[in-house]
Amino acid sequence: MTREQIEKFLHPEYLGNRPVQISFKTRQSILGIFVEANDFAELKSKNLWRIISESKIDEYVISKDLNLARIFNGLEMTKLELG
């Protein structure tokens, strides 16, 4: 997916708030939340996205620890839908 397609889906209500089902070309789909950090603009410009997977969402909500996130390439994503 392009950066613009992902941005259009996320903003404003889904960024960091609601879980999204993310489908990929070469891996299993995941449920996660997109999070915004200090480097959000830089990553977004490269079509890279910081995502907290479903298994770590509860821990992230409590700690706000960005080390729980993984960075995914938007070009590998094929579909986004509400989780």
Residue 62, domain CATH = 2.30.30
Segment 17-44, tens digit of pLDDT: 789 999 999 999 999 999 999 999 999 9
Contact 52, 69 (CB under 8 A): yes
DSSP H or E segment with residue 58 = helix 57-63
Range of the domain at 8: 3-82
pTM tops 0.75, yes or no = yes
How far, in whole angstroms, is CA 78 from its chain's centroid? 13
Average pLDDT of the residues of the chain: 92
Q: How do strand 70-73 and strand 48-53 relate by DSSP bridges?
A: antiparallel
How many structural domains comprise the chain? 1
pLDDT at 83 over 80: no
Average pLDDT rounded to a whole number, residues 6-17: 78
How would you list the strands of the sheet with 20-24, edge to edge?
70-73, 48-53, 30-34, 20-24, 77-82
